[in-house]
Structure 1
Amino acid sequence: MANRDKPVNSLGSRVSLRKDGSLVLTDVDGATVWQTSTNSSSLDVERAELLNSGNLVLKDAHGKILWQSFDFPTDTLLPNQPFTKSKKLISTLGRGTFGTGYFSFYFDNDNVLKLMYDGPDISSLYWPDPDYNVADNGRTNYNSSRIAVLDDSGNFLSSDKLQFSASDMGVGVKRRLTMDYDGNLRLYSLNSLTGFWVITWEAMAEMCKVHGICGKNGICIYTPQPKCSCPPGYEVVDTSNLNKGCKPKFNLTCSQSQQVKFVQIQQVDFYGFDLNYSESISFDNCRKFCLEDCRCEAFSYRLTGEGRCYTKSALFNGYKSPNFPGSIYLRLPMSVEASVSTKLNASDACSRTNVTKVVVGSPSMYANSSKRLRWVYMYWFAFAVGAVEILFILSAWWLLFRRHGAAAPIEDGYHVISSQFRMFRYPELKKATKNFKEELGRGASGAVYKGVLADERVVAVKKLADIYQGEDVFWAEVSTIGKINHMNLVRIWGFCSDDKHRLLVSEYVENGSLDKHLFPPNFLGWKERFKVAIGIAKGLAYLHHECLEWVIHCDVKPENILLDSNFEPKIADFGLAKLSQRGSLSSMFSRIRGTKGYMAPEWALNLPITAKVDVYSYGVLILEMVKGIRLSSWVVEDSEDQEAELTRFVRVAKKKIRCGEDQWMEDMLDPRLEGQFSRNQAAKMVEIGVSCVEEDRSKRPTMGSVVQELLECADESHAGSPHTK
């Protein structure tokens, strides 16, 4: 991109290849704003040429390249464009802008590819994970060649051993690697059918780990999308741009007469700017370190089996995470209001923060005798409260040991307590389900039972089959699933891993599965069918492209789509593929996952499994929603006739669409609808369904593009229909 910080006018500017061999960009007034470097070889330039690779080149009469745009990347790297130590990808400032931003992708002096925030106030490396060394991050700094390339198949290879691949890996797809304005490095693939770019790989799974994304004093929170917010006692610098951070409403001085307090924000930390770091230290001593250093703006205290204390000289790179085992304690003047109900000021003010006031004073606060007396009383009060708390904890531990033989590790226990996602004990779930009395359903992965927890939440408890692995791996996987949150996915509340028992606890969805409402003798109106089609697509798109770790469902079918009281769809069993088959071969994968009739052809061909298997299953599902009957084969013994039914439906649909018949839609739809449907929506669903069940997976759309297509006709008015009849 030429002259990105001072773009030319859209009308009247021009690019010229001059006789001296230079390529020149001029503005409407004729002023030169950019040109290729002029040297002796420039005189040999005969022509400018845009190659099929996307490289703009200047060539001499013999075809030799004398200058090329590939040597001057902006924010994007194209396939086969060499990326070397002299090059950087630098983001734009924001969506729809072109100016130089603050995030960059480059080879650092240690020969390792990194992502860095270089803003007005600070510079900070955030990828690969700065908490680990080069080897722990899977890189090497022993190769000084510093070169990387993205090939035609979607594979990225680097001299520092960084390797990744597009989720739709294969030739024939246009791709680009872009340093986005939000600080994430993403690989995009172009969907030739829809014209949309879709994400097929990204560096940062958790966007709140991107440094500088919320500016000074800002905190990044998930709502569930990342939002910038301000801590208690702070306000936004610019209400139109929350990325510019927050400013204090107070003036914190080093005067010993100023009374101060600490305000705790649970599960929040600010990365870096540590004045002091101590291990195996008590909370009181950590607080004292901050009090005695007037540079200290806050301290972080972590409970990870031993007390860890970090005092902070500045508040940058703030983030809130259910996985952070500690809290930040802000140092504020006593006069600043910061109540327990204080909200983080996100743009939609939606995430309420757990804020607790911890009142202390500066050392000179107790200079006279009356204040010393008050200090003594406070000590005795704190001692009494602490004694009661210790007795309570010891009693709870004793009961836990007595009932279960052993307590969970301290660190794991804190993770469980600090999140809505928690670990259950088997006797607890046995009691909640009344000894697994009421069975809601049963599948290859296990049976599901209805239960009521002690807090009166109604839940679904799934007893997983014996195919699931050891406790450590199971813990790691369910922790990932516990972070996934989307309105069209069944919410996972927790799990159980007692001895041989493996159970998942999820929300109870009132109206049961889609098959019980769609197929005869039951009936679902058109409005609800289209709503369900969009919801399922959104849920799958989130799993494939947006969630903290990509998850392929591998078993999309009506029985795994649950409907809530408003007939909003929720995808169930979305984590079981991850739980059962991490790292295994695709042949074993196909033996366990998938349902015949909804399974993509690549299962039988033993090809690598990608997100396109879910796209195929979704295609079968929405065609069944259009027709109102089973088109898949899994429920009957005579599978050949049923399998031919899907093939026949797709062949007829393709023919009618191609021929443009006027009444083709009525012939394809469920006759029970009696004309109560939107023609445009029905046509769109058939077209999408047909494209999703293509045998060649490269021709299938992504779920992201499916969502966009459906949303384009979502607001069309159509005849109403009841939920069921």
Structure 2
Amino acid sequence: MRSTKSVAFTLFLVIVTSLPFILNASFWSLSALYRGGYLSVERPSVDVLVSEKGTFKAGFYQVGENAFSFAIWYAETETLNHPATVVWMANRDRPVNRRASRLSFRRRGDLALVDADRTVMWTTTNTDSAGEVLELRETGNLVLLDGERKVVWQSFDQPTDTLLPGQPLTRSMRLVSKKAEGIYNSGYYSVHFNDDNVLSFIYDGPNTSSLYWPPPENTVWENGRTRYNGSRYAILDDMGKFNSSDWLQFKALDFGLGVKRRLTMDFDGILRLYSLNERTKDWEVTWMPEIARCRAHGLCGENGICFYQPKPTCTCPPGFQMKDPADWTQGCKPEFEIVCNKTEVKFIKIPNTDFYGNDLNYQPKVSFEACKNICINDCNCRGFSYKMDGEGKCFPKGLLLTGQSGPHYLNDMYVKIPIQMNFSGIFGHSNLDCSKVSLYKILDRAYAVGQAWGDYLKYPIGFVIAFGVAELICVAFGWAYMHKKTVHLHNLNQGYVAVSVGFKRFTFKELKKATKNFSDEIGRGGSGVVYKGVLEDKRVVAVKELEGLNHGSEAQFWSEVSTIGRINHMNLVTMFGFCAEKQKRLLVYEYLKNGSLEKNLFSNGTTLTWENRLNIALGTAKALAYLHEECLEWVLHCDVKPQNVLLDRDFQPKVADFGLSKLFDRGGNNISEFSRVRGTRGYMAPEWILNQPITSKVDVYSYGILVLELVTGRNSIGSQQIFENGEIGNKQLIPWIREMVRTNQNWVEEIADPQLYGMFENSIMGTLIKVALQCVEEERDLRPNMSQVVNSITSACLVDEVVYEEIE
């Protein structure tokens, strides 16, 4: 009886809490706002305009603790797992309070965004005539129309960071990036037509402004553009084609109708074309310019150096420290006073590094000593870049901006410092990611004093709630009583369901419905077929129908699968539950949108970045180390291969099919005693063939093969075509790599996947290859365990040492 009352009381609270929103929703039109009306910030989920087919919404969007902006966003991406994709904001730099603020459609026919203290934060007062109705069109354009349905004002004329299909970019417009991921106020990067009529990327930082794309070192013609156009007009059409009056043209990879797209200037200074995957509701990049991310000016601020480890990362030169520990765009400040006396300065060499632009002068064909003296004798010189390419190019620098470092830079940088400063010679790079400035103080605004407009509604709402309370309680008690009986009968039929939160026993009928009668096959392996499905709670799942199991003992199957269900690690695929009915054995896993590593590594048209590959190698190692050494029961995978490493939306790895060896061999008492060989040809350790005891080192061997495939981009199965000195030869992967390491001075560059285009850290790549070769030793005792592998890779990533040489 107590349980019945508890359920009823909970239901009562839910209904009473939801009633005000239900009642308010009935008072508002979601298709248009008319003159004299308003939208309130206190009802952000109700006071919204919705486009005709529901693609876009316009309303108040939270940007801080107590800060809201009036925005337009893609409604389809607004889910529990996906933040809404904002495409326009009226007041991105002047947010309003969460109480008493409103968007007013004033009697004189214009819009005004009014803060709680009645300050107008944004308005459309520059309109030529009075508006009568505000509508959100299916194109994402918010339009103010007069009595004749003519456009008085439209959001398409005032873009923020995004251009939508059909929205023109003209001479008076620019796309301005947001400050950082999740920080919507204006950033430092913009796209607009410059004075040469060329569509360009501009960095407008605290201390300087500069153009960085198209490459400013080239002429307009060399960049494939023309300055001879007066229209300054660009547009993205519905097919995914972009045309600009300066001859810039490009197409989306998924060119064609029916795809939702957006062209956004991202916070890292790169313009990207995104297409919406309707199935996963994720945005996928379908075009971006050919520009290395470190080439975007200002990523690491003044004096900062950007390098790849494996993604854009910042560091300060010796003798410098971050200005703001939470914001790399503020750069680095010197720990010394700048001196002008040439007898009191020296230089510290930073190899393979350059600071772009800000040259005091350029001196070709000069010696290193002459270049050094030019900088010593100039008080404004902060250092010089020297290129020993046979011509002796000298670049004295007045400012140290847009620092870039990497093996592909032929310049060495020499930074001027006081002669009394001493360094140990070795400095570790900072591992702070400069591409995401995520530690900004959250925007906040104080509440206004006085009663909010919405407060006056509490009395009629309270009356309506009180009027329906008695009836609601009666309905709640009746529903609870019937529900209790239903649940009791269900439990008798289905047995014990929950093992832990989110893990349950499914009926075959449930999974048949979720998978649409097992119609969407997404994978097939030795253990069974995998289907895609959607559960009743809208979770997208992968359902594996196991094959080759002994179905005699349902209780034992239940016991062991529940053990696997309790295994939890960020790099292991989460199992939501199972089904065991009659002869059916199914496992229900989370669904990973980017599929398997095999598909992404070996399929045409898919290229994993160095950042992706390093994360996959490290994440997979952590997952196996957890299975071998940390989880409650010792679990061998026995089939580590690219097909069983799945990638989430951010290309983070999750190992799948772990623990299946327990299910297939649950008749034995020792997990190392297998009834038959497990694994896949090409990834199997010699122990399987030699009939030796099976230990965790079989997984280590398979992992080593996987990493070698990951860094080379080549499949280990069978003979491979390896390009050597322009010729194609047939050699197996491991012997070829060992020979390269032994005989080739530039073995890292020769072994690395050509699809990386040299964009990787040599030292980390070298460590990864050496660790993988240790893992594939024929003698199992020579292989490391997985925790040692994790430590080796982590150490290489955190300490990428660079030797700095002092030059007197």
**TM-score for the superposition, normalised by structure 1:** 0.53
2:408 is matched with which residue?
A: 323
1:59 is matched with which residue?
A: 145
What is the SS of the residue equivalent to 1:190? strand
Q: Does 1:628 align with 2:527?
A: yes
What is the SS of the residue equivalent to 2:416? strand
1:110 is matched with which residue?
A: 196
* RMSD, aligned α-carbons: 3.9
1:170 is matched with which residue?
A: 256
2:96 is matched with which residue?
A: 8
Give the residue type in structure 2 aligned to 1:707. Answer: D
1:301 is matched with which residue?
A: 386
CA distance in 2 between partners of 1:13 and 1:161 (Å): 45
What is the SS of the residue equivalent to 1:287? helix
| Structure 1 residues 715 and 238: CA distance shift in structure 2, 3 A | farther
Q: Per-residue CA shift, 1:307-328, capped at 9, x if unaligned?
A: 1110111111101022111200
Alignment counterpart, residue 671 of structure 1, candidates 541, 549, 553: 549
Q: How far is 1:216 from its partner?
A: 0.6
Q: How far is 1:176 from its partner?
A: 0.8
Q: How far is 1:282 from its partner?
A: 1.4
| Structure 1 residues 687 and 332: CA distance shift in structure 2, 3 A | closer
Contact 2:527 2:546 in 1 (8 A): no
What is the SS of the residue equivalent to 2:371? helix
Q: Does 1:708 align with 2:607?
A: no
1:532 is matched with which residue?
A: none
Contact 2:382 2:397 in 1 (8 A): yes
2:576 is matched with which residue?
A: 680
Q: How far is 1:132 from its partner?
A: 0.7
Q: How far is 1:186 from its partner?
A: 1.2
Q: Per-residue CA shift, 1:49-95, capped at 9, x if unaligned?
A: 10000000011233221211100001111111010000011111222
Give the residue type in structure 2 aligned to 1:671. Answer: L
| Structure 1 residues 159 and 197: CA distance shift in structure 2, 3 A | same
What is the SS of the residue equivalent to 1:70? helix
CA distance in 2 between partners of 1:275 and 1:668 (Å): 70
Q: Does 1:244 align with 2:244?
A: no
Give the residue type in structure 2 aligned to 1:118. Answer: D
1:189 is matched with which residue?
A: 275
Contact 1:193 1:701 in 2 (8 A): no
Contact 2:166 2:238 in 1 (8 A): yes
CA distance in 2 between partners of 1:9 and 1:121 (Å): 32
Taking CA–CA contacts closer than 8 Å with sequence separation of 6 or more, which of the two structures ends up with the larger relative contact order?
A: 2
Give the residue type in structure 1 aligned to 2:229. Answer: N
1:222 is matched with which residue?
A: 308
Q: Does 1:33 align with 2:121?
A: yes
Superposition pairs of residues 124-273 of structure 1, within 5 angstroms: 124-203=210-289, 205-258=291-344, 260-273=345-358
Superposition pairs of residues 224-623 of structure 1, within 5 angstroms: 224-258=310-344, 260-347=345-432, 623=523
Q: Per-residue CA shift, 1:469-521, capped at 9, x if unaligned?
A: xxxxxxxxxxxxxxxxxxxxxxxxxxxxxxxxxxxxxxxxxxxxxxxxxxxxx
Q: Per-residue CA shift, 1:420-469, capped at 9, x if unaligned?
A: xxxxxxxxxxxxxxxxxxxxxxxxxxxxxxxxxxxxxxxxxxxxxxxxxx
CA distance in 2 between partners of 1:689 and 1:220 (Å): 29
What is the SS of the residue equivalent to 2:648? helix
Alignment identity in percent?
A: 42
Contact 1:175 1:187 in 2 (8 A): yes
Contact 1:141 1:160 in 2 (8 A): yes
| Structure 1 residues 39 and 162: CA distance shift in structure 2, 3 A | closer
Contact 1:684 1:710 in 2 (8 A): no
What is the SS of the residue equivalent to 2:201? strand
Give the residue type in structure 2 aligned to 1:301. Answer: Y
1:89 is matched with which residue?
A: 175
What is the SS of the residue equivalent to 1:53? coil
What is the SS of the residue equivalent to 1:708? coil
CA distance in 1 between partners of 2:595 and 2:410 (Å): 48
Q: How far is 1:254 from its partner?
A: 1.3
Contact 1:77 1:177 in 2 (8 A): yes
Q: Per-residue CA shift, 1:572-594, capped at 9, x if unaligned?
A: xxxxxxxxxxxxxxxxxxxxxxx
The structure with the largest alpha-carbon Rg is: 2
What is the SS of the residue equivalent to 2:649? helix
| Structure 1 residues 715 and 25: CA distance shift in structure 2, 3 A | farther
What is the SS of the residue equivalent to 2:275? strand
Contact 2:342 2:376 in 1 (8 A): no
| Structure 1 residues 669 and 41: CA distance shift in structure 2, 3 A | farther
CA distance in 2 between partners of 1:24 and 1:706 (Å): 46
| Structure 1 residues 336 and 702: CA distance shift in structure 2, 3 A | closer
1:445 is matched with which residue?
A: none
Q: How far is 1:32 from its partner?
A: 2.2
CA distance in 1 between partners of 2:650 and 2:369 (Å): 57
CA distance in 1 between partners of 2:265 and 2:304 (Å): 22
CA distance in 2 between partners of 1:24 and 1:716 (Å): 57
What is the SS of the residue equivalent to 2:387? strand
Contact 1:26 1:33 in 2 (8 A): yes
1:18 is matched with which residue?
A: 106
Q: How far is 1:257 from its partner?
A: 4.4
Contact 2:532 2:591 in 1 (8 A): no
| Structure 1 residues 48 and 232: CA distance shift in structure 2, 3 A | same
Give the residue type in structure 1 aligned to 2:116. Answer: V
What is the SS of the residue equivalent to 1:145? coil
What is the SS of the residue equivalent to 1:243? helix
Q: How far is 1:338 from its partner?
A: 2.9
CA distance in 2 between partners of 1:300 and 1:692 (Å): 41
CA distance in 1 between partners of 2:547 and 2:156 (Å): 52
Q: How far is 1:687 from its partner?
A: 8.5
Q: How far is 1:701 from its partner?
A: 13
| Structure 1 residues 93 and 710: CA distance shift in structure 2, 3 A | closer
Where structure 2 has 5 or more consecutive residues not aligned to the other structure, the ranges are 1-88, 435-519, 552-556, 566-574, 578-586, 600-604, 613-645, 663-670, 672-677, 680-693, 695-808
| Structure 1 residues 669 and 173: CA distance shift in structure 2, 3 A | farther
Give the residue type in structure 2 aligned to 1:125. Answer: L
Give the residue type in structure 2 aligned to 1:683. Answer: V
Q: How far is 1:37 from its partner?
A: 2.1
What is the SS of the residue equivalent to 2:129? helix
Contact 1:184 1:204 in 2 (8 A): no
Q: How far is 1:253 from its partner?
A: 1.3
| Structure 1 residues 69 and 701: CA distance shift in structure 2, 3 A | farther
Where structure 1 has 5 or more consecutive residues not aligned to the other structure, the ranges are 350-618, 630-648, 695-699
Give the residue type in structure 2 aligned to 1:31. Answer: T
Q: Per-residue CA shift, 1:668-708, capped at 9, x if unaligned?
A: 456389765554385347796999999xxxxx999999513
Q: How far is 1:654 from its partner?
A: 6.6
**TM-score for the superposition, normalised by structure 2:** 0.48
CA distance in 2 between partners of 1:656 and 1:100 (Å): 39
CA distance in 1 between partners of 2:656 and 2:305 (Å): 36
